[in-house]
Amino acid sequence: MSLPLLAQDAPTEPPPEDGGLDPVTTPAPLPTREPRPAVFAVTNDDRAGLQTFFIGTVPQGETRLLRVVGSDIESVTGNWLNAEIPFWLADDHNFYGLLATEMEAPTGSTPLSVVVTYSDGTQSILATSLDVVNGAFIAQNVNILAAKGYLLDTSVERSELARLESAIGQITLERLWDADGFQLPILNALTSPFGAFRVFNGTLSTRHTGTDIRTTLGVPIMAMGGGRVAYTGLLPIRGNYVLIDHGYGVYSGYAHCSEVLVEYGDLVERGQTLCLSGDVGRTQGPHFHWETAVNGVWVNPVQLLQMWMP
């Protein structure tokens, strides 16, 4: 749910006014998948070329799509912000990979390198730099009742995050989502955005690793996309939790459930009910916390959902 925030990382200005329990952002219409975007050539050699489906900058906490084109390519892998980018083959000549930028990534020019391995065993390196820009995250006040005050202990949070980050750092080299891509797990107002600086009981202490969605108790929560259940269990902060591995470094998490309806290892389909909404863990009341990770880092789930995916 939240990422520990070091004192030197805190914003130097007072946080914006809290949105309370009213929606901070309610997309109108609710986020839907974008059409296939234009492609832009970045760099190439005699045998392969690196392309992007975006132009300009890369905001903190967001995901972007890369493509490598060429002939006789056996495999492609990349490196961005010291994290591996796995690429998958979508047709005869096109390999795709996801560029995931951590919410606290340093801003400025950032190197991207892609290694292309050919069927004859030779390799080439396609290298460039992209600009990471500030994610324009807000701050929110959150009041936790004394009965749940122990959940503000940083050691509790760090332990939970370490457990999850070990899981989301595992890359399955298989695309488990289908051609329809991803969808919202539940249709309702978004009440707390990704990356927000969390001010718990007056103390700035964490970052929000996902997006909160307003709901009541017992509402079915659907799988964002096809995948395999990588974890189910009771966590101190997230409560009853489900983690889905969608393949090629993409994960989605579903928190505060009142009941979990799937088991570890289950294959699930897009839109399948995973759990029922609840009020378990570090909560102020019933709501649904939805989070996504790509290549081992937490990323904006709404932005990921909106991306065109091959």
pLDDT at 12: 34
Q: What is the DSSP string of 37-70?
A: PP-EEEEE-SSEEEEES--S-EETT-EEEEEEEE
Neighbouring CB atoms inside 10 A of 265's CB total 9
pLDDT at 33: 66
Higher per-residue pLDDT: 219 or 12: 219
> Model pTM?
0.88
CATH of domain 2-19+137-306: 2.70.70.10
- For tokens 């990588």, the residue is 230
- Residue range 115-127, pLDDT digits in tens: 999 999 999 999 9
Binned at pLDDT 50, 70 and 90, residue 199 comes out as: confident
Residues in contact with 258: Cβ distance below 8 Å, sequence separation at least 6, in sequence order: 217, 218, 240, 275, 276, 277, 278, 279, 280
d(CA 186, CA 73): 40
Residue whose C-alpha is closest to residue 112's, from 124, 129, 99: 129
- Residue range 253-287, pLDDT digits in tens: 999 999 999 999 999 999 999 999 999 988 888 99
Share of the chain above pLDDT 70, in %: 88
Share of the chain above pLDDT 90, in %: 64
pLDDT at 27: 42
Higher per-residue pLDDT: 170 or 26: 170
* Phi–psi pair at 142, nearest 5 degrees: -130, 125
- Residue range 224-259, pLDDT digits in tens: 999 999 999 999 999 999 999 999 999 999 999 999
Least confident of 15-29, 145-159, 175-189, 279-293: 15-29
d(CA 194, CA 202): 20
Asked if CATH classification 3.30.70.100 holds for the domain at 40-133, the reply, yes or no, is no
Beginning with the edge strand found earlier in the chain, give each strand of the sheet holding 273-276 in spatial order.
220-222, 273-276, 259-260
Residue whose C-alpha is closest to residue 196's, from 157, 134, 139, 135: 139
Binned at pLDDT 50, 70 and 90, residue 24 comes out as: very low
pLDDT at 1: 52
The H or E element containing residue 164 is helix 154-168
Binned at pLDDT 50, 70 and 90, residue 204 comes out as: low
Higher per-residue pLDDT: 173 or 4: 173
Q: Over the chain, what is the mean pLDDT?
A: 87
Compute, in degrees rounded to 10, the torsion defined by CA atoms 240, 245, 246, 247: 170
Domain residues of the chain, as ranges? 2-19+137-306, 40-133
d(CA 87, CA 99): 10
Least confident of 8-17, 29-38, 68-77, 300-309: 8-17
Distance of CA 4 to the CA centre of its chain: 17
Please check whether residue 270 is in contact with residue 177, taking contact to mean a CB–CB distance below 8 angstroms.
yes
Binned at pLDDT 50, 70 and 90, residue 18 comes out as: very low
Average pLDDT (192-201) is 87
